[in-house]
Amino acid sequence: MSSVQAHPTWRGWLVDVVAGGLIGGIVGLVAAWNLMIYLGVEAGYEASVGEAFGHSLLAGILVTAALVGGPVAGIWVARRQRRKRDMREKVSRSSAD
């Protein structure tokens, strides 16, 4: 059994941050647009975060939370998936030995 990993740890983190952040950002953006339309912000999907706060404090907070929370959740999901995959590979390697 070798102590050398198939890929460096930093590379996995980098891929998780970039891919998870990008996908999470897109999901957060779509959620923010839908929130602005649902909450009745005047310009709808064309509205800025400032306009959402101008509409109401709650709308601004929810839109900001969606825009910030999307990438954070995407990175968290990507890291969790990698940990699960790494554990499955570790178990399968140890059972093969």
Q: In the chain, where are the structural domains located?
A: 17-96
Percent of the chain with pLDDT over 70: 91
- pLDDT for 1: 44
Amino acid at 35: L
Average pLDDT on 56-67 reads 95
Distance CA 54, CA 7 (A): 48
- pLDDT for 7: 56
Q: What is the CA radius of gyration of the chain?
A: 20
Q: Which among 26, 24, 62, 69 has a CA at the least distance from the CA of 41?
A: 62
Judge whether 39 and 12 are in contact, CB under 8 Å. Answer: no
Average pLDDT on 46-70 reads 94
- DSSP-derived letter for residue 44 is G
Average pLDDT on 51-68 reads 95
Judge whether 84 and 18 are in contact, CB under 8 Å. Answer: no
pTM, 2 dp: 0.78
- pLDDT for 93: 80
